[in-house]
Amino acid sequence: MIRSLLSLALGASALATPAAALAEPLPADPLGSPMWEYHAGKLFAGAPVVFDPRVMVALPMLTENQHVMPVTVDARALNEVKRIVIFADLNPIPVAVEYTPLAAHAFIATRIKLDQRTPVRAAVLTADGVWHVAGGWVDAAGGGCSAPPVSRVRGDWADHLGELRGAVWQGADAIRVRMSLRHPMDTGLVENIPAYNLEQLTVSDAHGTPLARLVVHGSVSEDPVFTLMLAPAAKGELAVSGRDTGGLEFGGRLLPTSGTRIAAAVAR
């Protein structure tokens, strides 16, 4: 009790202090992860950290496929979100995505590989320098990161490499963007297959102004898929550009009517 009061007091004082100026004691991990302090030390580098229920991390009720585990982070209840980091404590490649929503809502959905039972978390940095963290344990059998991608086993990965799909749905409060890329996302943990993954993805407006920027790591699933929500100002055509660790560049254009067209195509 004394400890938590103390950290509350420190937290309050930190709000009035430049974020990186003093190292704070980490709050105790509600998930009891053996790797919490290690990862928190590296990721937050002494900045203030709070476990915050306003960060919603949606994880499935069961892990049907540990190569493709959906995770959705919705931190729209927080103001001025600067960055969202998705990580799994016990993965060999813990960080999956670092998202910078430049002109976008604090929302991202993607799919990650799990190597074993692990906490899966989102850490959300707000403009005041505070990291807001939430997450949960997810069960998984071995082999998500250390098993070869399906397309490597099939042998057709190179035939489809770089194929980019996507669409945009116009809403009153947000423009929803979905993008998928054919890519093996090799982790480097499978024998004889070096690491090879998408590492950057940016959505820009028609003038080339970046609206959303992603740094992507090898623990994101093969054929990565991302769902973002841009601020409603981004009404026109959008550009998607990306690069992988082999230096290969990907690009495409998202038309504003694309989502409406798919919706009409599947309407019953």
Partner 1 sequence: MIARRGVLLGALALPVIARAQGFAGAYAPAAIAIGEGIWLVPGADEALEPSNGGAIANSVIMASDAGAIVVDSGPSLGFGKALAALAEQLTGKAPARVYITHLHPDHSFGSAAFARAEIHSLPATRTDLERDGAGFSDAMYRLLQGWMAGTELILPQPAAADGVVTFGGRRLRLMALSGHSAGDLAILDEASGTLIAGDLVFHNRAPTTPHADLPAWHAALARLAATPHRQCVPGHGPLDRGSTAIAQTGDWLRWLEDSLREAVGSGLDMAEAANLPIPARFADMAMARYELTRSVSHLYPRFEAELLPRIDG
CB of 158 to partner 1, least distance (A): 16
235 makes contact with partner 1 (CB under 8 A)? no
Choices 11-19, 47-55, 125-133, 141-149 (CB under 8 A): range interacting with partner 1? 141-149
List CB contacts of 215: < 8 A, sequence separation 6 or more.
Answer: 97, 98, 99, 199, 200
Binding-site member from 32, 64, 207, 247 for partner 1 (CB under 8 A):
64
Quick one: which of 168, 176, 187 has its CA closest to 228?
Answer: 176
**Residue whose CB is less far from partner 1, 31 or 50:** 31
Quick one: which of 251, 203, 196, 206 has its CA closest to 227?
Answer: 203
Tracing tokens 């770089």 back to the chain, one arrives at 162
Find the binding residues for partner 1 in span 178-207 (CB under 8 A).
178-180
Quick one: which of 100, 136, 99 has its CA closest to 121?
Answer: 136
88, with CB counted inside 10 A (0-12, 13-18, 19+), is buried
Binding mask 16-35 for partner 1 (x = CB under 8 A): --------------------
143 makes contact with partner 1 (CB under 8 A)? yes
Choices 12-20, 35-43, 46-54, 70-78 (CB under 8 A): range interacting with partner 1? 70-78
- Distance (Å, whole) CA 181 – CA 132: 30
Q: Which residues bind partner 1 (CB under 8 A)?
A: 58-68, 70-72, 109, 111, 117, 139-143, 147-148, 150, 153, 162-167, 169, 176, 178-180, 223, 225, 227, 240, 250-254, 258-259, 261-268
